[in-house]
């Protein structure tokens, strides 16, 4: 009885609900996975992580494939103290198992000249809303890329997002000088100069915004901005890229769509099945209908 | 309104932009600067970056294998 009580006291199990602590091959030692949404961490936090690794571990920190940090060699008995120190630095543990994992993201338009959407805002909003959710058939990963270049590989995720824009020639404020730089910048050949003005073939346009960014006068503008959504991506033993599910979804509609997709996955997925496998089994049409029913 | 020239043949990014920026700082507001830029990244990046700094790109024309960009200083 007393030993049970003391073990309860030793570890605050409720704080470990989402996982984030991974058994190492050495007895009593665990790797603590930190929650680093969109791979963004402050210098102060990083320094707190370093201090914890020195104080409680053996000074070893592992950079994960999903932009996370894992502090190695943490003794089971130090869990509470380490968690307190992490909390003081504004950090918490990541997730393991059949849960919504930390959202990954590229730097996006807040940093990258090619960025079209704010991956920091969308990625953190998604992480705030869905991180750690359980009761799922399997793990659930999301990744947010600021443009179609997909540097953060969103298509490897169960749910992936790519920032996109639709270009439009608008000469009301700035007149086109027929410089051809937009045509030179277009990687797909969708934009051609016709009689000194850009004409865009909407079928083959990748919506990467490179023409808008190349325009030195500002007559090519963003007609609309949104996110292309891919579903069912996974890596692991049988990798498969996500399929395009929707185009130009507005930032404000992403949370509702994500929530509906997670609900549909929960309902249609068999235990141990990733979203992509479930979608393959039930068919994209049936999956979409279930998602639509959840949006209402 | 004076006209200035800057030949950036063979000058890579982002040094070409930095040189353009420094030259623009030397000349008077409303003056024109003609910059020669290489094809590829330089012509793709510099005109846009110049616009982002608030100057006006008036013309982009081929100059042999390169390009001549006419900029009006803000």
Chain B residues with CB under 8 Å of A112 CB are none
For chain A, list the domains and their CATH numbers. 2-88 (3.90.480.20), 104-165+226-295 (3.30.413.10)
| Predicted pLDDT at A19 | 79
CB contact under 8 A, B56 and A217: yes
Structure tokens at A78: 């130090």
Of B44, B50, B59, the CB nearest to A214: B44
Chain A residues with CB under 8 Å of B44 CB are 181, 184-185, 214
> Helices A251-268 & A275-282, crossing angle to 10 degrees?
70
Is residue A121 over pLDDT 60?
yes
Host domain of residue B29: 3-72
User: Exposure string (b/e) for A149-173, b if CB count within 10 Å is 16 or more?
Assistant: bbebbbbbbbbbbbbbbbbebeeee
Q: What number is the average pLDDT over the span A32-38?
A: 96
Is residue A39 over pLDDT 50?
yes
Of B44, B48, B58, the CB nearest to A177: B58
| Predicted pLDDT at A291 | 97
Chain A residues with CB under 8 Å of B69 CB are 216
What's the mean per-residue pLDDT of chain A? 94
pLDDT digit string, tens, across residues A125-167 = 999 999 999 999 999 999 999 999 999 999 999 999 999 999 9
Is residue A6 over pLDDT 90?
no
- CA dist A105 and A112 (Å) reads 12
**CA A66, A68, A72, A74 torsion: positive or negative?**
negative
| Predicted pLDDT at A20 | 87
Find the closest chain A residue to B47 by CA distance.
A216
pLDDT digit string, tens, across residues A158-185 = 999 999 999 999 999 999 999 999 999 9
| Predicted pLDDT at B1 | 81
Among B44, B7, B3, which residue's Cα sits nearest to residue A179?
B44
Would you tell me how many other CB atoms lie within 10 Å of the CB of residue A54? Answer: 13
Domain count of chain B?
Answer: 1
Question: What CATH number corresponds to the domain at position B19?
Answer: 3.30.110.40
Chain A residues with CB under 8 Å of B72 CB are none
Check if B52 is active-site.
no
Q: What number is the average pLDDT over the span A271-285?
A: 97
User: Exposure string (b/e) for A65-84, b if CB count within 10 Å is 16 or more?
Assistant: ebbbbbbbbbeeebbeebbe
> Could you give the percent of chain A with pLDDT greater than 70?
94
| Predicted pLDDT at A2 | 41
By the 10 Å C-beta count (0-12 exposed, 13-18 middle, 19+ buried), A98 is classed as middle
Is residue A3 over pLDDT 60?
no
| Predicted pLDDT at A100 | 96
Query: Listing from the earlier edge strand, what are the strands of the sheet with A159-169?
Result: A104-105, A142-145, A159-169, A220-231, A243-249
Q: What number is the average pLDDT over the span A19-39?
A: 92
Residues of chain B with pLDDT under 50: none
| Predicted pLDDT at A16 | 66
Chain B residues with CB under 8 Å of A213 CB are 48
> Helices A284-295 & A251-268, crossing angle to 10 degrees?
120
Among A167, A159, A187, which residue's Cα sits nearest to residue A246?
A159
Binding-site residues on chain B for chain A (CB distance < 8 A): 43-44, 47-48, 50-51, 56-60, 69
CB contact under 8 A, A181 and B44: yes
The structure's pTM equals 0.90
Under the banding of pLDDT at 50, 70 and 90, the label for residue A13 is low
CB contact under 8 A, A185 and B60: no
CB contact under 8 A, A214 and B48: yes
Catalytic residue among B4, B13, B68, B72: B13
pLDDT digit string, tens, across residues B14-28 = 999 999 999 999 999
Find the closest chain A residue to B58 by CA distance.
A177
Is residue A203 over pLDDT 70?
yes
Structure tokens at A57: 């571990």
CB contact under 8 A, B44 and A177: no
Chain A residues with CB under 8 Å of B47 CB are 179, 181, 214, 216
| Predicted pLDDT at A1 | 39
Find the closest chain B residue to A215 by CA distance.
B48
Question: CA of B50 to nearest chain A CA: how many angstroms apart?
Answer: 8
> Could you give the percent of chain A with pLDDT greater than 90?
89
Q: B interface mutation test: which of A175, A187, A216, A219 has the most B CBs within 10 A?
A: A216
Interface predicted TM-score of the whole assembly (ipTM), two decimals:
0.87
Find the closest chain B residue to A174 by CA distance.
B56
Under the banding of pLDDT at 50, 70 and 90, the label for residue A4 is very low
Do strands A191-194 and A197-200 pair parallel, antiparallel, or not at all (unpaired)?
antiparallel
Identify which has the larger pLDDT, B52 or A287. Answer: A287
Is residue A14 over pLDDT 70?
no
């Amino acid at each position: 009885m007393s030993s049970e009580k003391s073990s309860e006291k030793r570890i605050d199990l409720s704080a470990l609900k989402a996982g984030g602590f991974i058994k190492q091959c050495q007895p009593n030692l665990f790797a603590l996975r930190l929650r680093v949404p969109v791979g963004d961490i402050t210098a102060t936090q990083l320094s707190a992580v370093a201090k914890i690794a020195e104080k409680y571990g053996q000074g070893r920190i592992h950079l994960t494939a999903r932009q996370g940090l894992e502090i190695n060699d943490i003794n089971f008995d130090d869990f509470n103290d380490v968690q307190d120190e992490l909390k003081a630095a504004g950090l918490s543990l990541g997730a393991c198992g059949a849960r919504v994992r930390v959202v990954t993201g590229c730097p996006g338009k807040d940093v990258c000249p090619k960025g079209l959407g704010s991956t920091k805002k969308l990625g953190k909003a998604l992480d705030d809303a869905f991180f750690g959710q359980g009761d799922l058939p399997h793990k659930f990963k999301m990744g947010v890329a600021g443009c179609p270049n997909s540097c953060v590989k969103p298509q490897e995720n169960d749910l992936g997002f790519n920032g996109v824009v639709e270009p439009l020639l608008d000469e009301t404020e700035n007149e086109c000088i027929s410089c051809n730089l937009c045509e030179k910048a277009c990687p797909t050949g969708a934009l051609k100069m016709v009689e000194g003005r850009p004409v865009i073939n909407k079928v083959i346009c990748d919506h990467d915004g490179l023409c808008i960014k190349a325009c030195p006068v500002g007559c090519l503008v963003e007609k609309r901005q949104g996110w292309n959504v891919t579903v069912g991506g996974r890596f692991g033993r049988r990798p498969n890229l996500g399929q395009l599910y929707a185009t130009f979804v507005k930032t404000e509609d992403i949370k509702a769509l994500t929530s509906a997709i997670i609900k549909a996955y929960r309902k249609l997925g068999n235990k141990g099945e990733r979203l992509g496998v479930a979608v393959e089994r039930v068919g994209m049409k049936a999956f979409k209908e279930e998602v639509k029913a959840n949006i209402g | 309104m004076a006209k200035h020239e800057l030949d950036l043949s063979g000058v890579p990014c982002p040094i070409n932009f930095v040189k353009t920026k420094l030259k623009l700082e030397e000349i008077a507001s409303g003056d024109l600067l003609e910059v020669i830029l290489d094809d590829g990244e330089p012509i793709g990046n510099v005109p846009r970056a110049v616009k982002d700094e608030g100057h006006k790109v008036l013309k982009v024309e081929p100059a042999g294998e390169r390009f001549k960009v006419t900029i009006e200083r803000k």
